[in-house]
Structure 1
Amino acid sequence: MQTEWQKKLMMLLGILGAGLVIGQSVLATLVWPVYNVATYPLAVLTANGSPYQLSFMLLNGVAALLILLSLFTILNNYRHAKQEKLSKALQGLIMALVLWLGLQLLWPLSNPAMATMGGTPIRNGVVSIGIILVAYALYHYSQPLRKQGDSSLANVLLVFSILFVLFHVLAYIMQVIGWSLQGFFDVLATDSLAAGLGFIGWYYWQRWSR
């Protein structure tokens, strides 16, 4: 069993990981002037042929590792406390995130231009399924949290799960109608997920700091 300071450190690392995800669009505009955050979805940063593909893949990989470390710390705490429903729900969220992150890192777009052209039908279908799985996993995790009295965390996760799907839908609509806001809503979708995961770390950091 981890000590209190070790658990708090893991939560801070999770918050840092979420911050890295949220900050990548800002970093991209600084290092790659061609990148337009309003027009281009984040997938362009890790697309094959992108000048900073390796750097942003590494950034996303590190961020994912930090977030997963914080979630595994919480999972171990649930198991130690024999909170079965929370354990199963968080396991489901971790699995959904691993699939989602694996898709982003292991199946990048074939070239940067594909980001604005809509990608391929097969990849788009798999990505859509991934979005639904992650959103459902967040919602599913919020339910046992609410039942045990953590309604504030449950409400935040519910809101971010809705925003994650909503912003992805809006990004798709922008692409279909030809408005140059696909990237803007794609960034908001990714930031919504990262903010929700970061809030989990902050919530438990506060609890274990009392």
Structure 2
Amino acid sequence: MPDATARLGLPYLAAAQAQKHVTHNAALRQLDALAQLSLESLTVSAPPAAPSDGQCWFVPAGASGAWAGQSGRIAAYEAGAWDFYPVRPGVCAYLAGEGRLRVFDGTAFVSPLAASAHRAAVEALVLEEDVLLSGAHVDTVQAIPARAIVLAVSTRTLAAVTGAASYDCGLAGEPAKFGGALGIAVGASNVGVIGPSAVYAPTPVRLTANGGAFSGGRVRVAAHLILCPGPAA
């Protein structure tokens, strides 16, 4: 009989084993880390200074410190110590820093929607930002990436807009592409669904004042996107 389970590598208790609780607790600790896996990052290469119990990271190439030599494994922190676990192809993880899912292809975490053997993929992404309003128009700091396909841009007024009677949501040159004459009261919202539209350079979303310049207010903007990264070499 093998010493560990085939998929997660959880240790088995041996017949007549002494201190069975040690092996059992090790299996529970590993299961707690790997089941419904949540990762803080795929790219951080040095252990964080103050991790919390239960946090996990994927260890990239060139990792340092306590993670040195553990590339391609999951680093899990609990009770003041790091544990390192292998990850099998097909494991799905939630990326806490990105708010989306990834699936492990045997080497890297890739899009769960579709990915080729050479990592050409279809990815979904939402870029969200709270925008403080001032002047004739305001652009988001985050730009829609080049060659992204835009499905929609949604908005919600978080703090009442002042100085303008309404606002438009769009792009430079297309100010109402995702919605015109939008509400200025707290809670006003819009989902600016459009036919899929590609951008070919990094492009911020623009909020444009109607009937006067913005003198205050805050609007949450979310760009709903599809990305199509090409194959690796």
TM-score, scaled to structure 2: 0.22
Structure with higher Rg: it is 2
Please identify which structure carries the higher helix content.
1
Choose between structure 1 and 2 for higher RCO, CA contacts under 8 A separated by at least 6 residues: 1
TM-score, scaled to structure 1: 0.24
Please identify which structure carries the higher strand content.
2
